[in-house]
Chains A and B, each alone.
Chain A
Amino acid sequence: MIRTTIASLAVLALAATPAAADAPVGAKAPAFTGLASDGTTVSLADYAGETVILEWTNHGCPYVKKVYNGGVMQDLQAAAAEQDVVWLTIISSAPGKQGHVRADEANELSETRGANPAKVILDPKGKIGRAYGAVTTPHMFVIDPEGVVQYAGAIDDRPTSDPASLEGATNYVRLAMNHMAAGEPVEVAQTQPYGCSVKY
């Protein structure tokens, strides 16, 4: 079993080596182009010169439900919009897997959840997800106007799906956004992401 595991890990490691570099903090964010739920084509390059937040999501995931039912994501999206920060929600669930949605369903989700991302990008083949090494939902990345990753990891410091944990949680993304707005270095730049696995 372990032999197979190790063999497959080795294969994985080989296959994932470019992704192993992923999008580490301080490195240039991988460029991508994807189809958004509003029918447009979106590239990271479209937002050169702006701060961009990437949010990996899966509406069936209990951890995503925690932050959306508690209004945390929506508040953060509103705050981002206020500071002219671009918010891109990315769905990398493969067809047939949990969280996979068509464009109209994605739009409906945004409406019912009161979410306000600039775009929802549909990534059913997981190309963007793998390029960034996105492994959980939620998994957050904050990219500065120069295209450099300034934060990668969890939404907050409470790795649980328990709604009660939102009370008093430190939101790493808000923290990073505030530091960047103030022109300061991001204090907590990388954390262990938590949540459901991305359903590649």
Chain B
Amino acid sequence: MLRVLASLFVLLAVLTPVRAAEVATGHARSDLVLAREAAAPGGTALIAFRQQLETGWHVYWKNSGTTGQPLSLTWSAPEGYAVGDIRFPTPKAKATGPIVDYILDGAPVFFIPVEIPATARPGERVRVSADAYWLICDDVCVPEEATLSLDIPIAEDVGAEKAFVAAARRTHPTPLPGEATFAAEPDLLVLRIASETLDGADICFFPEAEGLVRPAAAQTDVRRDGVAALGMAPDFNYDPDGLERLIGVLRVERNGRAVGYEIDATRADLDPRLAAALADRLAGRADGGPSSGSSSEPVSLTGWLLAVGAALIGGLVLNLMPCVFPIVFLKAAGVADAAARGEAGEVRAHALLYAGGVLSSFLALAALLYGFRAAGADIGWGFHLQSPAVIGVLTVIMTLVGLHLAGLFETGAGLQRAGGALLGTMGGKGGAFLTGVLAVALAAPCVGPFVGGALGLAVAQPGFGGLLVFAGLGLGLAGPYLLLAAAPQAALVLPKPGAWMVRVRQALAFPVFGTAVWLLWVASVQAGEIAVLYIGGAALAAGFAAWALSIAPSGGVPRRAAQALAAVAALAGVFALTLPTPAPQAYAGAAPAGGRLQSVAYTEDAVETLRAYGRPVFVEFTAAWCVTCQFNKQTVLKRPAVEAAFRAADAAYVVGDWTNRDPAITAALEAQGRSGVPLYLYYAPGAAEPDILPQTLTVDLVASLFETGSADIALKTTP
């Protein structure tokens, strides 16, 4: 055993390519490279300090905000080589409670200019080295350090800029195409920007000086015709009379894409009414800001037909998904029961009601989705599962369904008919409708093969066509029962009801409880461990209430007592669900201990930069609530063979986590014509476009990606 491990270790060591001068520290990989092939005597060369940060971890901008510490580089260079200041990429704000930090994540590239003396001789190589020190944090902070060195070849011909430089430059602020001035009021600092690039974008100013602007205070702006006045709350080092220049970076973000502009504002007077309006807003109301609508190309009739067809098949397949199957089985039991009693009319009614429940839920979800999107929310399919409250309600329902199946309580219609009457006091027919609703609510995380593309189209193209796609999905899901409604006698081929049904019913309680456990885990990922307590408490209270109601004799004082008890328990459950949960947390995925594959958090910039390094890039868009995603992660992406293939190819592993709302990821999904997860992309080195991988991955497929250099062959060899 030991020997096997040892040889595995050696194999890994051999397979892991060592990039020139790259240093791996606990949560980052860093290297030092020249932007061009060489440096010319008397010229200025650009050095890049490149980092890849582990998912969930960040480093700090030069003004780190409330807490944190920026990168520091202490250089040793030969006499005459003057190394300049670090140029930082555009930062973003990260809020944790009362703390707002100015951070960098993903794969930041820092540029450092170095002046080459005129006396440098072409042909020689000059070594510079840097003691790098940075603070890297997720929830906790770890200082990391590394000594990196770089040999600079001296030549008259410095060559072209390397490919990564252009990509990295896009993450850096550029000069503002316009004018910037500022006004310093006693309790208000106002930056006034005249620029056409601001229309429809969110803006945020990051001052270079510490103690000037309170990082944790809201910034608010008033805009008209390309002119924005951005009001900020001053911090302790603010001197309204002495401030002569306001220097920093303006981050402009539109549809999840951000650019930075260098700001060096001079002093100018401000319209006092504007100042008053801004101060007013800063004191209270927040500005939501209108959202810009997205435009997309019209879709052909064939495109729509294909999409609806795909949705129909996808809906049909949904019936077999683990989250939906127990519900579907129950429905089948109800139908078989009715058929056995020869009640063709009832079979038809059940099937139609169930289909109605499914269809109307899909259409309602579609309407909600379109409505929210029209109102400017950046959401996609599965959005309702991004809310811990919805997860909580579903957990409670699942618990009730499970207890009911296990036989803790009955819903009044008798054991034989219980399969059809799922919920509470609803009769058999209402239950059939509700079963349909429930099936849809639980289907979203299981959206699997065939559906991704169709839903992407539907979400991007609101209107009749989009609704048809959703309806197609519903018809597919309800398909088998609609067939039954058309030919009720077919239900007779279903096994005859009998004592066995009780056992099957009890057995089915377990997958339902399993679903509840999984939902609880999702909630814990979204809202922290306290959510488990609240939702667990709510489920307990609801279960108790249902039981109390079911054992109470009809009429009289005991009945009323039971009702009162049930009401108290239900209220307690509702109270537990409405308790405040902590702010959503990023889901990094359960990471196995040991030399695991480090992933980089998704940003468009990170992907661009990593591609520009010339490395293969694998992008995974996932969510904790997405069963298909988790299945792929556990059965494929975390397998040693896959990790080894990543290492052997030195492939970058980028993860976009959509467990909570994230407009940047929504935008990335839409760019590939999708509206939900999972989505897997593979960028072969040098490829202009990614290969879109199937939603169900296999180990062979992922491992062979890097061998063939493209997904084309890999896809063809996959059954």
Contact = CB atoms under 8 A, between A and B. Distances in A.
Interface of A: 1-14, 16, 19-20, 24-25, 60-62, 96-98, 126, 130, 133, 135-136, 152, 159-162, 190, 192-200
B204 A13 contact: no
Nearest to A152: B236
B143 A161 contact: yes
A113 B76 CA distance: 37
Contacts of B287: 6, 10
A3 B202 contact: yes
B664 interface: yes
Contacts of A1: 92, 253, 256, 258, 662-664
B218 interface: yes
A13 B218 contact: yes
A40 B78 CA distance: 61
Contact of B216 (A3, A13, A60, A196): A13
Contacts of A96: 529
B141 A20 contact: no
A135 B66 contact: yes
Interface of B: 66-69, 72, 92-93, 95-101, 133, 135, 137, 139-143, 202-204, 210-211, 214, 216-220, 233, 236-237, 251, 253, 256, 258, 282, 284, 286-289, 291, 529, 583, 661-664
Contact of B67 (A11, A161, A194): A194
19 contacts: A1-B92, A1-B258, A3-B253, A3-B288, A6-B204, A12-B218, A13-B233, A16-B216, A19-B98, A96-B529, A135-B98, A190-B237, A192-B210, A193-B67, A196-B141, A197-B68, A197-B137, A198-B97, A200-B97
A19 B282 CA distance: 15
Main secondary structure of the interface of B (DSSP, over half): loop
B236 A135 contact: no
Contacts of B142: 62
Contacts of B93: 2, 5, 9
A192 B98 contact: no
Contacts of A198: 97, 99
Contacts, number: 133
Nearest to B214: A20
A5 B66 contact: no
Given A4-B661, A62-B143, A97-B139, A136 B67 contact: yes
Contacts of A4: 661, 663
B503 to A, nearest CB: 42
A14 B662 CA distance: 23
Contacts of A98: 139-140
Given A12-B218, A20-B217, A98-B140, A2 B69 contact: no
Sorted nearest first, the 9 A-B pairs with minimum C-beta distance are A10-B286, A2-B202, A2-B253, A200-B97, A13-B218, A197-B67, A10-B218, A9-B218, A196-B141
Nearest to A17: B283
Contacts of B67: 135-136, 193-197
A110 B99 CA distance: 27
Contacts of B219: 6, 9
Given A20-B216, A200-B98, 6 more contacts: A3-B289, A5-B92, A10-B218, A98-B140, A126-B97, A197-B68
Contacts of A25: 236
A200 B99 CA distance: 9
- Residue among B204, B218, B219, B529 facing the most chain A CB atoms (10 A cut-off): B218
B251 A2 contact: yes
Contacts of A9: 93, 95, 100, 216-219
Given A24-B236, A159-B69, A2 B95 contact: no
B105 to A, nearest CB: 12
Contacts of A190: 236-237
Given A1-B92, A62-B143, A135 B214 contact: no
Nearest to B201: A2
A162 B218 contact: no
A161 B135 CA distance: 9
Contacts of B218: 6, 9-10, 12-13
A140 B663 CA distance: 38
Contact of A162 (B133, B139, B140, B202): B133
A3 B252 CA distance: 11
Contacts of B663: 1, 3-4
Contacts of A193: 67
B204 A12 contact: no
B64 to A, nearest CB: 8
A14 B202 contact: no
A133 B98 contact: yes
Contact of B141 (A3, A133, A152, A197): A197
B449 to A, nearest CB: 31
A157 to B, nearest CB: 13
Nearest to A16: B98
